[in-house]
Amino acid sequence: MPASDPLSEDFQFRALMENTEDSIYFKDRECRLLRVSRHMADNLGYFDASELIGKNDVDLFGETFGQRTMMEDLRIMDSGEPIIGLVESRQMGRAGTNWTLTTKVPLRDADGAVIGLLGITREINELKQTELNLQHLATHDPLTGLPNRFLMTDRLNQTLAHYERGKTIFALLFVDIDDFKKINDERGHEFGDAVLQKLGDILVNTVRASDTVSRIGGDEFVIILETLGRREDAGFVADKILRSVAKPFTIKRHKVNLAVSIGISVHPDNGVDAELLLRAADYAMYLAKGQGKNRWLVCPEGLPGTTKNFRGVG
């Protein structure tokens, strides 16, 4: 059957190698390329695919990435076991990260001996970006872009897992806007959303980069203050937040004078689990709000439920 016959295996193979949007490649036992698809040659900047013959991954991708993939190829050929659907990433400088999905299978001769490898690699950057976007939506507040309750709780549990009771101090700050309902009623919810975004920015810029600022719903924000030197440091941070929030700002040509109430719980004084620490900080915030605007209070040791020994400022 002539090679140009569309039913011939040679014609079909050449059509596949010239027109597929995947990178298809064959390698010998030394991990050197024997043949590559047109798409792979174009991606690597080669006009003539034959120029790639004899090159290995170190030649093409550098020592670090190349050595890793060559070791992987040798393992496949030595064991005879394929790799199916391997997700990989490679930094492309200013172009960012390139995500790929790769399948590699050993090539065998008529006697069953492994003589090389066939690989098929597909770029999945759009799919990966969609996945990352969905992950971000699942773990971040869509309005402010801050971690949501789910991610905050996860980070809090991670923080707890690293600290032994009594040896390390950290704190939670429960922040709530005073009279936020009045802001929404007088200016509308769109204006209220802008206020929430502004407060999120203020909180992030007031605490350390290692701390976590989250919005857990409505006008409620929770801050995880990592590794405090002293218990009193949580109050110093709360004071700093009150001063930052008290500075007037403008939204849509309207001057805003914002006030917040802050409740503080300290690990391990107020508990060694996430739920109790959150409950204690929430309770302290509730009491602070009941005593006026722009106040913070620290929950006493033990379960929240009493105002005895509360410490705070106005």
Give pairs for 39-44: CB < 8 Å, separation 24+.
Answer: 40/121
Cis peptide before 2 (omega within 30 of 0): no
Rounded to whole angstroms, the maximal C-alpha distance in the chain is 95
| Active-site position among 219, 233, 239, 282 | 219
Distance from C-alpha of 11 to C-alpha of 2, rounded to nearest angstrom: 9
- What sign for the dihedral angle of Cα 286, 291, 292, 295? negative
Burial (CB count <10 Å: 0-12, 13-18, 19+), residue 83: middle
Phi, psi of 198 (to 5 degrees): -65, -45
- Rounded CA gap, 73 and 45, in Å? 23
Strands 260-267 and 295-298: parallel
CB 249 within 8 A of CB 181: no
What is the chain's alpha carbon radius of gyration, rounded to the nearest angstrom? 30
- What distance in Å separates the CA atoms of residue 74 and residue 120, rounded to the nearest whole number? 16
- Is residue 22 part of the annotated active site? The answer reads no
What residues are labeled active site?
219
